Structure 1
């Protein structure tokens, strides 16, 4: 169980996530390029 103060916690169980993603990028980007990240397919029935 995680912290009861964690806003991502599941109500009642206090289960939290162990991973997070920063999906932000600046509105104006000079000299940098950003690619869309590709993630492998996941079979949620295994979990």
Structure 2
């Protein structure tokens, strides 16, 4: 989550990181979906990998 927070804060301040696709992989489906929604909200390209 610290990385997600960093990405969100950068986007909030108008300085999003210019990165490719973020792949989210996790054993916690709810946590993984939360990360996907959070980053998608800030227009990062996100894909969820199956755990």
Higher Cα Rg, which structure: 1
Same fold (TM over 0.5): no
User: Normalized against structure 2, the TM-score is what?
Assistant: 0.25
User: Normalized against structure 1, the TM-score is what?
Assistant: 0.26
Q: Which has the higher helix share?
A: 2
